[in-house]
Structures are given as C-alpha cells and as structure tokens.
Chain A
Amino acid sequence: MRYLPLTEADRSGMLDVIGAPSVDALFRDVPAGARPGTPFDLPPSAGEMEVERHLSALAQRNLSAGCAPCFLGAGAYRHHVPAAADHLIQRGEFLTAYTPYQPEISQGTLQYLFEFQTQVTMITGMEVANASMYDGATACAEAVAMACRITRKRRVLLSGSLHPHYRDVSRTLMRFSGVQVEALAPDPVGIEDLIGRMDDGIACVVVQTPGFFGHLNDYTALAAVCHEAGALLVVAVTEPVSLGLLMPPGEMGADIVVCEGQSIAGPVGFGGPGVGLFATRERFVRQMPGRLVGQTVDADGRRGWVLTLSTREQHIRREKATSNICTNAGLVALAFTIHLSLLGEAGFARLAELNHARASALADRMGRIGGVRVVPGTFFNEFALTLPRAAAKVVEELAARGILGGVPASRFYPSYPELEDVLLVAATETNTPEEMETFAAALEEIL
C-alpha cells in the first residue's frame, strides 16, 4: 500500500512497545456490535494505473467545454486559466498546509491572504474583505445573516435579479432564525420596484449586478433609500471579471459585497470548489463572518501577518460566534490572487473589455435570428434571449450537435411558464468569432 509506510515488522515492533497483542486490541473500546463480522462490500485497493484508467473513463463520458463551443454562464464562467496560476497552487507548501494557526511557519499563506483581502477591496470598492467563504451563494447567505445582526431587524428583501441559488441558500440559512425572507419574482426585463417596497422593518436588500438575466443596474439611489430606512444594501456579483469594466458596488453605496470568485480563480469544474468573496465597510468588521488576516510585527520588529479579530469566530465564541465557518477556500483564494496579479491593472481591464466585446458581437448576431430577441438593454458578458419555443429543448438539440448553447431559465424557475422560452447566453474571451458563428448558425437551423 503505497500511502502507508509501516511494514509488518514495524507494526509488530510498535505493538511490543505499546504492550498490545494486535492492532485490533487497540480498538477494544469499540462495542463488538459495531465491528462488522463481514467485511465492507467495497472493492480492494488498486494501483495508480487502475484508478487512473477508471476515472479517466468516467471523465471521457462528459462533454468538456474545451471540446464544444460553450456559452454557459448563470453564475459560473469559463475563462482562460493561466498556466502559472495552476502550477503555483500545486506547490506542496501551499497545497498541503493547514489553516495558518502557527504564523511563524505560515507567512506564505498569511501574506497571500492579505494580498487577496486587499485585491477584493480594490475591485469591489469596499474597505475591508475577509479571507474567503465557501462560495458566492453561501457568502450571500452570510451577508444576510450579518445584516440582521447589525440592524436587529427581522425581514430581508431579495431582488428578482439575484441568482436563484443565492436566493435559495439565503433562505435555507435563515430558515430557523425567525427572519422573514421575501424574494421577489424573477425579473428578466429589469422593472422591479425595490425602492417602493422599502420600509423601516427591513434589515437588508440583496441585489445583483450584472443581474441574473444580464441587466446592469446603478444601485446608488437604492443605497440611499436603504440607508435612510436603516437597512443595509447587499450587492452580489457572480461574474467578478465585470468589475474590470464596471463601476464597483462600493461606489454605489453598497454595505456588503459578495462575489463568486471562480471566474477569476479557475476552471468551472462542474461548479465547485469556488471561492466566496466577502467585503464590507470598516465599521462592520467585528460583525463579519470568516477568517481575517491582519498585519503586525514580530519579536524583531519585522512586518508579518497573523489571523486576527478571532473573537468573532466559533473556536473562541462557540454558540455566540458570527458564523460557524471554519474551513473556507484558501487555495482557491490563492488561485484568484495569482490570476489577478498576473492580469494587473491593464490586463484586468482588457480582459473585461474583451468579454464585453465578445458578448456584444454575439448579442448582435443572435438578434438577427428570426424569432430570437435579446432581452436586456444593458449587459456585461451574458444576456437573456427569448426564443420562439422552449429553451430547454433547444439546448438539448444544440448539445446533440456538440454545442453547449446556454442555460435555459426553466432549469431554475420550473414553476414560471412565462420563462420557458428564456435562454441565458454568455460569451467570454475563450469564445472565438468562429465558435459564435457556429452557434448562431446551428440555432438558426434548429429554430
């Protein structure tokens, strides 16, 4: 067994030192009834070659986006991952370290998390950010919980432009908290009136930009109304590449910004693991969930970093903690930080510009197909289309032709027949003009 260094001779020698007759004897505290007489019904150990053969066969039964023009988004975006980023995160000192509880031998993790926190504040336009959450959806739910703690109010309002998974995860987290979660109906056209629904009982309003159906919104006015009513504005961003081009939520007056960092951090990977970005105002820092890295000095006066303000956290505060989170998404945060460092100011802006240009070209082409209409007037790299028939069926037919042609809205909203014909389509820098033409031509044929 290649992962186990002990030999039979080691085992018997060690048992002699312990004074136990067998390894089984060390399990004497386990009730006999829980030690099955028959072995588990599982396959025996296997060499690397066999495991690789089996798993590769499974992988080959998936249509990977690299083998098919892919226009899927809806919260997970396929971008180019620089070779250097994926290489660096596999360095064993990063990959196989634990949470940096011993700062003297964890300065690598601590420094990159400090860089990550800084980058997150920069792109969102906020003052402080934590060292990551599991993903965007759980970060959104934690933002809702945090807003309720700060305002001590018991109602929250979720925009119909919020990703339905973010809506659902927020609802689940608040289910037993006594907080009433009011989710507005899906809003493909971008006409919902959040300001008209504000009142003094609301803890926070959660919106998303770009919206789930693609719209871009300026939430400056909403932020002012929220603050007047004593509520917080939470802005979710599922495609942070957009922040290279768009006004950051912090500038609009957001109190908490949450993002899914996957689109910058790495591959779509069937949706996980991602990384949740969580940023807020300095005055709320002690109500934040998750780990925070802070700067300090060592015994010789040299700059260094430590985990800090941990009196918010479960291992200190137990049932009074701001969250139960412990493990987060350190390595994915590292990938995010490395990619953003490679991009830099100029590269990040250009990447965003390129995404918008590709999506604009695709929208123009789609709009020329009979019976197809581009729904949102504004968008970044994704937009909703209405088709002349059910989008889910069209997507299946496109898949049969080897094209991953968008996400049908009905996948998220099965009980809204009016959304049956709505298809979400995204284009990124990975989509070539030729791919877009192939997609459009196939769609023309199918429709």
Chain B
Amino acid sequence: MTAVDESNTSVVARRADALLRVEQVQKYFPITGGGLLKRKVGDVKAVESISFDVVPGETLGVVGESGCGKSTAGRTVMKLLDPTGGKIEFEGRDITHLSRKEMVPLRREMQMIFQDPYSSLNPRHTVGSIISAPFKVQGVKPTRGVQAEVQDLMARVGLNPEHYNRYPNEFSGGQRQRIGIARAIALRPKLIVCDEPVSALDVSIQAQVVNLLEDLQDEFRLAYIFIAHDLSVVRHISDRIAVMYLGRIMELAESERIYKAPLHPYTHALTSAVPLPDPRAERSRERILLHGDLPSPINPPSGCVFRTRCPKAQDRCAQEIPVLRELAPGHYGACHFPEERHLI
C-alpha cells in the first residue's frame, strides 16, 4: 500500500473554456469488518486520482473493461457519489463539496442517461409524467404548457407525441432509451453523462440512438461524457477518449490518436482485441493477448497498476507509479515506457 499520493503530480493542461474540469478525483468505498463496531478494514479504490476536462459541444469517451471504475467516475463527477478526494469544477465553480440540495439548481445543466432503459423508468408513471419530471423538480413552467413542451420533446427524439399517456412497458428497448434521452434534454442541459447508453440495444437500434445523440449534440451544443465498454461505438462518437484501467486513466488523447497511434501497452491490447467487422482485415491482424485477471482494486499492484499483465513491464514499473503526462501534443499517457504502435 505504498506510493499512492506521489502520483498526484499528473497534469492535464487546463483548457480555458472547460465546462467541466476534474482534478485528481478519487472515489473509495470503505470495507467494514464484521462484528458490532463495523471497523473499517480497507478501501475499494474504485477511482484513483483521475483528471480530465470537457468543453462545450465535445464528447469525451471513457472506455475500459468491467471494474475499471468508469461508471463510478461518471457518477462521481455528476456528484451522485461524493468524491473521496480531488476537485470538480463546473463552469469554473468548485462543486466538489456542494450538498445534495445545493446541487439541485445545477442539475439543470448536467444530466445523465443510463444503460438500462428498463430499470431507469418508473413503470407506474406515464411517459408524459416521466419526461416532465425535471420541470416539476426544478419548478420550471414552460410557456406553452408542460404537455405541449413534452410532446415537442417526444417528437424531437423520434417518439410519437400521441403516446404521451402510455406506460414504459408499452415501448421497446430502443424507444425506452429515447424516453430517457427526452427526459435528459428537457431542461436543455449543457452536459450529459451517458453511461453505456446503447449497450442493451440491438445493433440496428443502437445505430438509431447513436445518430440521435449526435443530432442532439449538434442542435444544442451538448457536451457528452460517453461511458462504454464497446470501443467501436466510443470511437465513433467521441472527440477525445480516456482509457481507464483499475481506477486510473492510462491514456487520454484525441479519438483518432487512441486508435491510430496508441502509446500505452494497455490501449494496445484493448484496441487489438476488438474484432473488426471485416474478415480480410481480421485474418491478417496482430492481436495482443493479455494474460491473467484484473487485480483487486482493494489491494492494487504497487507502482503501475497494469504491470502485472503488461508485456513490457520492468523493475521500475513495480516501484514507481507512472504519472499521466503529455507525451505528444494533447496526448497523455501514464506509462514509463510508452511506444507508438499501429494496430488497426
């Protein structure tokens, strides 16, 4: 359990127009022992000092495999979870320690879309009341009345406005995701955190929803944090991508660079593992196989967390945590031995 805080020197250049800025944010979940006292015996280090920012109209993709902390990161920057450490700024204002109540007005500006369109909609509420809930919570009275506004929103996301009084179970998975999207854009937010928004959908429906998200972004100049495990989808929609592993950002760069010239060995393995829908390309492709399993986030490896599975690991990797640093203009990596490779 050494060498945790030394890494806090990593620097991601500050962009003046940042909408959301996240600095060294940590999220630990305490583990308590049995018995009466519930003594704390350790922490699950779900997110370990991550830094990034998002500018208006931009999509930041966050990719990584299960257990890498990407969903926790999304919930923490939304302040649905309280960060253990670090700083979160929204439009230049420090929101790290705002209470739930103080956050309410800010919810107009930042919204969330969830993976499971089945469990994120109340089955006993009509679509109309689900989509209009943000108006009620925020005390907003649309000039033309709530129903007209909601029906406009429904039309905008490709739902039939006449279905205003129907219940979620009368809609298919793709349509339910559209309901979730209509609710998220109701108050014209500036930022939407999308947590695996298309993972539960069939391919043809997935493409419809991705296109809708892109259209809404152009129309309202929305910023997205797009969290997903599917690298092809993330690459398609994102301007920049953060690759996470065991709670840390391993690499952060423009989408093109993450796929065409990744520098981090984990990104190499990840991008090479994605099968392309192109049989001829597949036959000649080099695949970097990782061995072993993801280490426990309770007791992560010393030094670089990826070293136990890294084909390039050396002694230094066990001793020193690699800092996320700028390796090429706008291209950040946390590796002692970065190397550009072309794998697609």
- The answer to whether A and B come from one shared complex is no
Binding site for A on B (CB under 8 A): none
